[in-house]
Structure 1
Amino acid sequence: MTFRPLQDRILVRRIEADEKTPGGIIIPDTAKEKPQEGEVVAVGPGARDDSGSVMAPDVKVGDRVLFGKWSGTEVRLGGEDLLIMKEADVLGVLEGSQRASQAA
């Protein structure tokens, strides 16, 4: 099944957090928070400005993004849990291969 977001919406797959802390402590499932990092799976054509022209989105498929804790709407497509959110809910794009947890 294919999914095409409308306007300035994007489809994001959450990237699961590590099972251990840097010190080696294993985190149980009940104590884990939902990850706030994900990979963009699909992007809509963009929002329209006041004159009616389409503004291209800043994110593209494959980008790793950070988003707010309560951002987006959770959906299940093809047996996979994904998020649909507006591009404005994205806080930033992670550049390079360094993870957000290592950068902080």
Structure 2
Amino acid sequence: MTTALRSIKSLAPLLDRVLVQRVKAEAKTAGGIFLPESAQKELNQAQVLAVGPGAMDKDGKRIPMSVTAGDKVLIPQFGGSPIKVGEEEYSLFRDHDILAKINE
């Protein structure tokens, strides 16, 4: 079963889920040599596009999210729920699955 989305902006994460897009690896070295796709390594760095409102604790209070839209984060090599819109690939992760926030 596949769902066709017109735009990724129409997707709003629920509870403690975070919508991210992996940062693409450089296709060219510092010396100007172009690398084939088979030689490019998939990065664990991603850009946060959207964040859910947060999960609820046992008392019914909302647990704040640790990231916000626009943050750069480190994500696990595997996991998450993949989403494809057109040619672009995105992933949904739970807030507690995100490894670190990158401060620049």
For the superposition of Structure 1 and Structure 2, which TM-score range results when normalised by the shorter chain? 0.7 to 0.9
| Structure 2 counterpart of 1:16, from 8, 20, 24 | 24
**Partner of 1:55: helix, strand, or coil?**
coil
CA RMSD of aligned residues (A): 1.9
Conserved 8 A contact 2:26-2:40: no
* 1:1-104 superposed matches below 5 A: 1=7, 2-20=10-28, 26-77=34-85, 79-96=87-104
1:100 is matched with which residue?
none
Whichever structure has more strand as a proportion of its residues is: 1
**Partner of 1:54: helix, strand, or coil?**
coil
* 21-30 or 55-64, which deviates more: 21-30
1: CA distance, partners of 2:64 / 2:36:
41
2: CA distance, partners of 1:25 / 1:91:
32
**Unpaired segments ≥5 residues, structure 2:** 1-6
Shift of 1:28: 2.3
> What is the one-letter code of the residue matched to 2:16?
D
Shift of 1:27: 3.5
Shift of 1:20: 4.2
1: CA distance, partners of 2:51 / 2:87:
20
**Unpaired segments ≥5 residues, structure 1:** 97-104
2: CA distance, partners of 1:73 / 1:55:
22
| TM-score when normalising by structure 2 | 0.80
| TM-score when normalising by structure 1 | 0.80
Number of positions where the alignment pairs a residue of Structure 1 with one of Structure 2: 96
Percentage identity across paired residues of the two chains: 35
